[in-house]
């Protein structure tokens, strides 16, 4: 049956990506959106848009009845779930089946079967696919599980059988840690997937995550589209993916893809799926390397574009054809690998602070144009807000090269010519990973980030003072530009005016600026009409500088001090009290301080524990009046799909604790204080 109209039950980049292919196929689309997404990019692309509820996904994107009703009401004959949200929800697929709407994905039965990591492992074992040794039975008694754990040996992993996205998983390094870790995994499993059941797995030492894209159709054909390496992860979540896997041998590839196809065949799998393997990669990949089935993702994967770039196939198109009941239009022997592709997931998060998710507006968002070698999948436009309600992924940057080195070069070029201001992102971190020696050498493992920390520092290697002065020059130039635009005639004393004679040496403006924890105070004095400024610091040290704007919008900051002269190619963007300085993928935020900020700084004492972002309180470990040691866990909260433990920054006595389990707290809400004794 030919699909004529698709409801896209998702948001962000994946909604846009699906609509793009639907348009190519001349299929109409209906976008749905929550109250938080009223101005989102995917709405502008669809033929129709329907609101489906308030911002929290549980009241909108996850509301099965609302989505089915919307599809019926708008006469859609199919629904594409994207990834996340309802994509792996067997009930949703069943509801579509029941309503006579085509679910573009596998059958509800396949989703259900693979949705449980333990059931999937049993099936794979029977089909002769190697699985990680461990316990995946139904006995959930804590004492029993501990005994099984002791048998498996440490380190081991506890996984919520319904888990996903790295959630509900705990690494246990020694028997003593087992009990707490078990509770944590069960709690996350229950909270996020409504299922506290866990399995135990031997922890593979130097693991690589290599997955195989598979596709089945209703005619019984099952093919694979080669492998992807997704070993670069933080918090067990992928951030860089590539295809093919570096160092892959032909024999190992044949074994992996063979096992993946066998896995899909074992359950009569139809549509796109991914079989994830954990590969024991000590000493690199060889023909004999051991690998184990980890799980099967019964949906389109976030990182599917790397496969598209090396195979030339459109996976969403294949999904639609298969959903229409057609045979796969390609045979295994016709699918070849061409070149190499790398994807970096651009997240609103702070790589210098444990990858803590960030919220805020994308005031400035400039990315190089797409080309044959660069694809940019996003759901955000400048001035859009990264809200607390959804995953903080902003976009995917995907680069193609003739070989891996070529793809890495292209990726680095994209990172260093991209500029983002307003919300902190992992952009420079993605660049740092690709620059790291071990990455270039293809020495990957899921521990890559911990093991290469020293090479993965982000931020400018320019002295803070020079960043601040560059920001000041950018700010002056912008103000001059703005004044020029509005031509306020009464502003006669403004030195920013271009009308020369008003500038006299007596003019000086006191600047107070902050960069992180560092505060800078100085006077800015123009030198006549030269465009050169003297910055006079307290100790009477003078730095002079000017902005060479001939390369607008980027500018060259030239600074002269007793230490000599320096030049920086930087881009500045000014918004409210912030001046963002950008270059090479890095962004520094310089704050224009006024009197109001000073008082605030004093209240930032060490003992004040504030919510680092808006979120929900999952557990309160501290007690009013109780004593804590530095590093003790105080409160566990959840925000933006991440669990975050707030720890005591110093020893002392807890007071003013008001947070309760289940409370929703705002950004920077004061949760408790620790009084030094």
Signed CA dihedral, 565, 566, 567, 573: sign only: negative
From CA 51, how far away is CA 17, in angstroms rounded?
20
Tell me: cis bond preceding 553? Omega within 30 of 0 counts: yes
Q: Please report whether residue 209 would count as binding ligand ADP according to CB under 6 A.
A: yes
- Kindly state the smallest distance separating residue 152's Cβ from ligand ADP, in Å: 10
From CA 382, how far away is CA 420, in angstroms rounded?
9
Signed CA dihedral, 628, 632, 638, 640: sign only: positive
| Segment near ligand ADP (CB under 6 A); pick from 163-171, 256-264, 474-482, 596-604 | 163-171
| SS3 (DSSP) at 570 | strand
Q: By CB under 6 A, what part of segment 275-304 binds ligand ADP?
A: 276, 278, 294-295, 297, 301-303
- Kindly state the smallest distance separating residue 192's Cβ from ligand ADP, in Å: 6
From CA 74, how far away is CA 270, in angstroms rounded?
27
- Kindly state the smallest distance separating residue 662's Cβ from ligand ADP, in Å: 19
- Kindly state the smallest distance separating residue 579's Cβ from ligand ADP, in Å: 33
Q: Select the residue interacting with ligand ADP from 25, 56, 59, 83 (CB under 6 A).
A: 83
Report the half-sphere exposure of 487 (CA within 13 A, side-chain side).
0
| SS3 (DSSP) at 21 | helix
- How many C-beta atoms lie closer than 10 Å to residue 59's C-beta? 14
Helix (H) or strand (E) holding 149: helix 142-152
Q: Given the complex with ligand ADP, which of 157 and 182 has the nearer CB atom?
A: 157
Active site residue 299: yes
From CA 313, how far away is CA 264, in angstroms rounded?
20
Q: Given the complex with ligand ADP, which of 17 and 209 has the nearer CB atom?
A: 209
Of 208, 253, 255, 299, catalytic: 299
Q: Given the complex with ligand ADP, which of 169 and 414 has the nearer CB atom?
A: 169
- Kindly state the smallest distance separating residue 214's Cβ from ligand ADP, in Å: 14
Q: Please report whether residue 238 would count as binding ligand ADP according to CB under 6 A.
A: yes
What DSSP string runs through 247-311? T--HHHHHHHHHHHHHHHHHTT--EEEEEEEEEE-TTS--TT--EEEEEEE-S--TTHHHHHHHH
Q: Select the residue interacting with ligand ADP from 203, 226, 389, 644 (CB under 6 A).
A: 203
Q: Select the residue interacting with ligand ADP from 157, 342, 449, 671 (CB under 6 A).
A: 157
- The two structure tokens encoding residue 675: 């009084």
- Kindly state the smallest distance separating residue 313's Cβ from ligand ADP, in Å: 18
From CA 361, how far away is CA 322, in angstroms rounded?
39
- How many C-beta atoms lie closer than 10 Å to residue 632's C-beta? 16
- The contact pattern for ligand ADP, residues 445-484, with x = CB under 6 A and - = no contact, is -x--------------------------------------
Q: Select the residue interacting with ligand ADP from 56, 164, 268, 464 (CB under 6 A).
A: 164
- The two structure tokens encoding residue 154: 């440490």
Count of residues that bind ligand ADP according to CB under 6 A: 33
- Kindly state the smallest distance separating residue 37's Cβ from ligand ADP, in Å: 15
Q: Please report whether residue 57 would count as binding ligand ADP according to CB under 6 A.
A: no
Report the half-sphere exposure of 208 (CA within 13 A, side-chain side).
29
Contact 456, 234 (CB under 8 A): no
- The contact pattern for ligand ADP, residues 378-407, with x = CB under 6 A and - = no contact, is -------------x----------------
The residue length of the chain stands at: 677
| Segment near ligand ADP (CB under 6 A); pick from 63-71, 204-212, 317-325, 396-404 | 204-212
- The two structure tokens encoding residue 551: 């390369």
From CA 371, how far away is CA 185, in angstroms rounded?
43
Q: By CB under 6 A, what part of segment 321-350 binds ligand ADP?
A: none
- The two structure tokens encoding residue 559: 């600074």
| Segment near ligand ADP (CB under 6 A); pick from 161-169, 370-378, 458-466, 510-518 | 161-169
- Kindly state the smallest distance separating residue 452's Cβ from ligand ADP, in Å: 16
From CA 598, how far away is CA 629, in angstroms rounded?
30
- Kindly state the smallest distance separating residue 430's Cβ from ligand ADP, in Å: 15
From CA 649, how far away is CA 629, in angstroms rounded?
9
Q: Select the residue interacting with ligand ADP from 12, 81, 84, 184 (CB under 6 A).
A: 84
| Segment near ligand ADP (CB under 6 A); pick from 162-170, 412-420, 463-471, 651-659 | 162-170
Q: Return residues touching ligand ADP (CB under 6 A).
A: 83-84, 132, 157, 159, 163-167, 169, 192, 201, 203-204, 207, 209, 233, 236-238, 276, 278, 294-295, 297, 301-303, 391, 446, 641-642
Active-site positions read 299
């Amino acid at each position: 049956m030919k699909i004529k109209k698709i409801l896209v039950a998702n948001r962000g980049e994946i909604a846009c990506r699906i609509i793009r292919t639907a348009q190519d196929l001349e299929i109409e689309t209906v976008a749905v959106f929550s109250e938080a997404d009223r101005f989102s990019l995917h709405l502008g692309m669809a033929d129709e848009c329907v609101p489906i509820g308030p911002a929290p996904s549980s009241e909108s994107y996850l509301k099965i009845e609302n989505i089915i009703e919307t599809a019926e009401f708008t006469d859609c004959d199919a629904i594409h779930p994207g990834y996340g949200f309802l994509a792996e929800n067997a009930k949703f697929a069943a509801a579509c089946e029941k309503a006579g709407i085509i679910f573009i994905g596998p059958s509800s039965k396949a989703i259900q079967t693979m949705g449980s990591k333990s059931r999937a492992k049993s099936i794979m074992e029977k089909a002769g696919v190697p699985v990680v040794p461990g316990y995946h039975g139904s006995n959930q008694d804590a004492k029993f599980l501990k005994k099984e754990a002791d048998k498996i040996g440490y380190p081991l992993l506890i996984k919520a059988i319904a888990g996903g996205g790295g959630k509900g998983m705990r690494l246990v390094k020694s028997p003593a840690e087992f009990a707490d870790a078990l509770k944590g995994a069960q709690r996350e499993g229950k909270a996020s997937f409504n299922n506290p059941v866990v399995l135990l797995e031997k922890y593979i030492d130097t693991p690589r995550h290599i997955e195989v894209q598979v596709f089945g159709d209703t005619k019984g054909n099952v093919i694979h589209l080669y492998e992807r390496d997704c070993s670069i992860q933080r918090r067990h979540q992928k951030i860089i993916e590539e295809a093919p896997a570096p160092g892959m041998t032909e024999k190992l590839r044949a074994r992996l893809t063979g096992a993946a196809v066998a896995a899909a065949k074992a359950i009569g799998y139809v549509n796109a799926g991914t079989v994830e393997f954990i590969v024991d990669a000590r000493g690199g990949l060889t023909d004999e390397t051991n690998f184990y089935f980890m799980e099967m993702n019964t949906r389109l994967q976030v990182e599917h574009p790397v496969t598209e770039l090396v195979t030339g196939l459109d996976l969403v198109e294949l999904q639609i054809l298969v959903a229409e009941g057609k045979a796969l239009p390609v045979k295994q022997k016709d699918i070849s690998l061409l070149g190499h592709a790398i994807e970096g997931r651009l997240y609103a998060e702070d790589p210098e602070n444990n990858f803590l998710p960030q919220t805020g507006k994308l005031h400035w968002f400039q990315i190089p144009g797409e080309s044959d070698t660069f694809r940019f999948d996003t759901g955000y436009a400048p001035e859009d807000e990264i809200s607390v309600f959804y995953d903080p992924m902003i976009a995917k940057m995907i680069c193609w090269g003739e070989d891996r080195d070529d793809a890495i070069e292209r990726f680095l070029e994209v990172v260093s010519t991209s500029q983002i201001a307003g919300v902190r992102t992992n952009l420079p971190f993605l660049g740092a990973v690709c620059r790291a020696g071990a990455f270039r050498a293809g020495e990957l493992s899921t521990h890559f980030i911990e093991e290469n920390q020293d090479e993965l520092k982000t931020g400018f290697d320019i002295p803070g003072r020079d960043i601040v002065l560059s920001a000041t020059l950018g700010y002056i130039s912008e103000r001059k530009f703005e004044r020029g635009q509005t031509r306020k005639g009464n502003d006669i004393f403004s030195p920013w005016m271009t009308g020369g004679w008003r500038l006299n040496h007596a003019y000086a403006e006191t600047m107070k600026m902050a960069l992180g924890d560092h505060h800078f105070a100085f006077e800015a004095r123009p030198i006549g009409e030269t465009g050169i400024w003297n910055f006079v610091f307290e100790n009477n040290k003078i730095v002079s500088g000017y902005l060479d704007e001939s390369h607008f919008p980027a500018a060259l900051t030239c600074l002269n001090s007793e230490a000599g002269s320096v030049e920086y190619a930087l881009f500045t963007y000014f918004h409210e009290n912030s001046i963002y300085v950008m270059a090479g993928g890095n962004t520094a935020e310089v704050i224009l301080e006024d009197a109001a900020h000073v008082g605030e700084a004093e209240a930032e004492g060490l003992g004040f524990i504030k919510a680092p972002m808006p979120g929900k309180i999952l557990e309160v470990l501290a007690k009013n009046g109780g004593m804590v040691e530095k590093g003790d866990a105080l409160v566990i909260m959840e925000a933006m799909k991440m669990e975050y433990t707030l720890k005591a920054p110093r020893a002392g006595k807890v007071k003013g604790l008001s947070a309760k389990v289940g409370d929703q707290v705002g950004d920077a809400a004061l949760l408790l204080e620790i009084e030094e004794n």
